[in-house]
Structure 1
Amino acid sequence: MTTLSFSEQDVAHLTEKDIETLAERLETDSYKSAFDCLKDWHLLRAVAFQRPELAEPYYYLLDMEAYDES
Protein backbone atom coordinates (compact mmCIF):
# COMPACT_ATOMS: atom_id res chain seq x y z
CA MET A 1 0.00 0.00 0.00
CA THR A 2 1.31 3.44 -0.91
CA THR A 3 1.24 6.26 1.60
CA LEU A 4 1.79 9.96 1.09
CA SER A 5 4.48 12.39 2.16
CA PHE A 6 3.16 15.89 2.52
CA SER A 7 3.84 19.53 3.21
CA GLU A 8 1.53 22.42 4.03
CA GLN A 9 1.35 23.27 0.34
CA ASP A 10 0.29 19.73 -0.49
CA VAL A 11 -2.63 19.92 1.95
CA ALA A 12 -3.93 22.99 0.11
CA HIS A 13 -4.18 20.99 -3.13
CA LEU A 14 -5.99 17.92 -1.79
CA THR A 15 -9.47 17.23 -3.10
CA GLU A 16 -12.49 15.62 -1.47
CA LYS A 17 -11.72 12.44 -3.42
CA ASP A 18 -8.14 12.42 -2.08
CA ILE A 19 -9.43 12.66 1.49
CA GLU A 20 -12.03 9.96 0.85
CA THR A 21 -9.31 7.62 -0.45
CA LEU A 22 -7.12 8.44 2.54
CA ALA A 23 -9.98 7.70 4.95
CA GLU A 24 -10.71 4.40 3.22
CA ARG A 25 -7.09 3.34 3.67
CA LEU A 26 -7.25 4.26 7.36
CA GLU A 27 -10.53 2.39 7.83
CA THR A 28 -9.29 -0.82 6.21
CA ASP A 29 -6.01 -0.62 8.15
CA SER A 30 -4.14 -2.85 5.71
CA TYR A 31 -0.73 -1.24 5.91
CA LYS A 32 2.63 -2.97 5.68
CA SER A 33 3.80 -1.20 8.82
CA ALA A 34 2.44 0.97 11.58
CA PHE A 35 4.60 3.81 10.29
CA ASP A 36 2.75 3.84 6.96
CA CYS A 37 -0.51 4.13 8.84
CA LEU A 38 0.86 6.97 10.96
CA LYS A 39 1.86 8.92 7.84
CA ASP A 40 -1.72 8.78 6.58
CA TRP A 41 -3.09 9.60 10.03
CA HIS A 42 -0.83 12.65 10.29
CA LEU A 43 -1.91 13.79 6.83
CA LEU A 44 -5.59 13.53 7.79
CA ARG A 45 -4.82 15.41 11.00
CA ALA A 46 -3.06 18.17 9.04
CA VAL A 47 -6.06 18.44 6.76
CA ALA A 48 -8.36 18.64 9.80
CA PHE A 49 -6.44 21.68 11.06
CA GLN A 50 -5.84 23.42 7.75
CA ARG A 51 -9.00 22.51 5.81
CA PRO A 52 -11.53 21.25 8.38
CA GLU A 53 -14.41 21.18 5.88
CA LEU A 54 -12.70 18.29 4.05
CA ALA A 55 -11.85 16.25 7.13
CA GLU A 56 -15.05 16.78 9.11
CA PRO A 57 -16.76 13.55 7.96
CA TYR A 58 -13.69 11.60 9.09
CA TYR A 59 -13.02 13.10 12.53
CA TYR A 60 -13.88 9.76 14.09
CA LEU A 61 -10.67 8.38 12.57
CA LEU A 62 -8.63 10.96 14.47
CA ASP A 63 -10.10 10.39 17.94
CA MET A 64 -10.18 14.14 18.43
CA GLU A 65 -12.35 15.09 21.35
CA ALA A 66 -13.24 18.51 22.62
CA TYR A 67 -11.96 19.25 26.09
CA ASP A 68 -12.13 22.07 28.57
CA GLU A 69 -8.79 23.45 29.71
CA SER A 70 -10.24 25.41 32.60
Structure 2
Amino acid sequence: MNSVKLTQQNIAELTAEDVANLASRLEQDDYSNPFEALEDWHLLRAIAFQRQELVEPYFYLLDIETYDEA
Protein backbone atom coordinates (compact mmCIF):
# COMPACT_ATOMS: atom_id res chain seq x y z
CA MET A 1 0.00 0.00 0.00
CA ASN A 2 1.37 3.38 -0.95
CA SER A 3 0.36 6.66 0.58
CA VAL A 4 -2.35 7.06 -2.03
CA LYS A 5 -5.64 8.83 -1.55
CA LEU A 6 -7.94 5.97 -0.72
CA THR A 7 -11.57 5.83 -1.64
CA GLN A 8 -14.14 3.83 0.28
CA GLN A 9 -13.71 1.04 -2.26
CA ASN A 10 -9.94 1.01 -1.70
CA ILE A 11 -10.44 0.80 2.06
CA ALA A 12 -12.71 -2.20 1.52
CA GLU A 13 -9.84 -3.92 -0.31
CA LEU A 14 -7.16 -3.34 2.34
CA THR A 15 -5.58 -6.34 4.01
CA ALA A 16 -4.40 -6.76 7.57
CA GLU A 17 -0.84 -6.53 6.20
CA ASP A 18 -1.58 -3.14 4.59
CA VAL A 19 -2.84 -1.78 7.89
CA ALA A 20 0.11 -3.27 9.77
CA ASN A 21 2.48 -1.43 7.40
CA LEU A 22 0.59 1.81 7.95
CA ALA A 23 0.71 1.34 11.73
CA SER A 24 4.41 0.56 11.55
CA ARG A 25 5.09 3.85 9.77
CA LEU A 26 3.13 5.70 12.45
CA GLU A 27 4.98 3.89 15.26
CA GLN A 28 8.39 4.65 13.73
CA ASP A 29 7.42 8.29 13.21
CA ASP A 30 10.16 8.70 10.62
CA TYR A 31 8.51 11.15 8.23
CA SER A 32 10.19 13.86 6.21
CA ASN A 33 7.49 16.33 7.27
CA PRO A 34 4.64 16.37 9.80
CA PHE A 35 1.98 16.41 7.08
CA GLU A 36 2.93 12.91 5.96
CA ALA A 37 2.37 11.64 9.49
CA LEU A 38 -0.94 13.44 9.71
CA GLU A 39 -2.03 11.94 6.39
CA ASP A 40 -1.25 8.42 7.64
CA TRP A 41 -3.06 9.13 10.92
CA HIS A 42 -6.16 10.30 9.05
CA LEU A 43 -5.99 7.24 6.84
CA LEU A 44 -5.82 4.92 9.87
CA ARG A 45 -8.78 6.79 11.37
CA ALA A 46 -10.81 6.40 8.15
CA ILE A 47 -10.05 2.69 8.12
CA ALA A 48 -11.16 2.45 11.76
CA PHE A 49 -14.57 3.87 10.89
CA GLN A 50 -15.10 1.48 7.99
CA ARG A 51 -13.09 -1.64 8.93
CA GLN A 52 -12.62 -1.51 12.69
CA GLU A 53 -11.52 -5.15 12.83
CA LEU A 54 -8.34 -4.27 10.92
CA VAL A 55 -7.45 -1.36 13.21
CA GLU A 56 -8.21 -2.92 16.60
CA PRO A 57 -4.56 -3.95 17.27
CA TYR A 58 -3.45 -0.37 16.52
CA PHE A 59 -6.29 1.56 18.13
CA TYR A 60 -3.84 3.11 20.61
CA LEU A 61 -2.25 5.03 17.72
CA LEU A 62 -5.49 6.93 17.20
CA ASP A 63 -5.57 8.26 20.77
CA ILE A 64 -9.36 8.48 20.70
CA GLU A 65 -10.97 9.00 24.07
CA THR A 66 -14.51 8.26 25.06
CA TYR A 67 -16.30 11.35 26.27
CA ASP A 68 -19.16 11.32 28.74
CA GLU A 69 -21.84 13.41 27.08
CA ALA A 70 -24.20 13.14 30.05
TM-score, scaled relative to structure 2: 0.90
Q: CA RMSD in A?
A: 1.1
Residue aligned with 1:43, SS: helix
Q: Which residue of 2 aligns with 1:15?
A: 15
The whole-number CA distance in structure 2 between the counterparts of 1:65 and 1:56 is 14
The CA deviation string for residues 4-48 of structure 1, in whole angstroms up to 9 with x for no partner, is 321211111110000000000000000111111111101100011
Which ranges of structure 2 fall in alignment gaps of 5 or more residues?
Answer: none
Report the number of matched residues.
69
Q: Which residue of 2 aligns with 1:67?
A: 67
Which ranges of structure 1 fall in alignment gaps of 5 or more residues?
Answer: none
Q: Which residue of 1 aligns with 2:4?
A: 4
Q: Which runs of 4 or more aligned residues in structure 1 lie more than 3 Å from their structure 2 counterparts after TM superposition?
A: none
TM-score, scaled relative to structure 1: 0.90
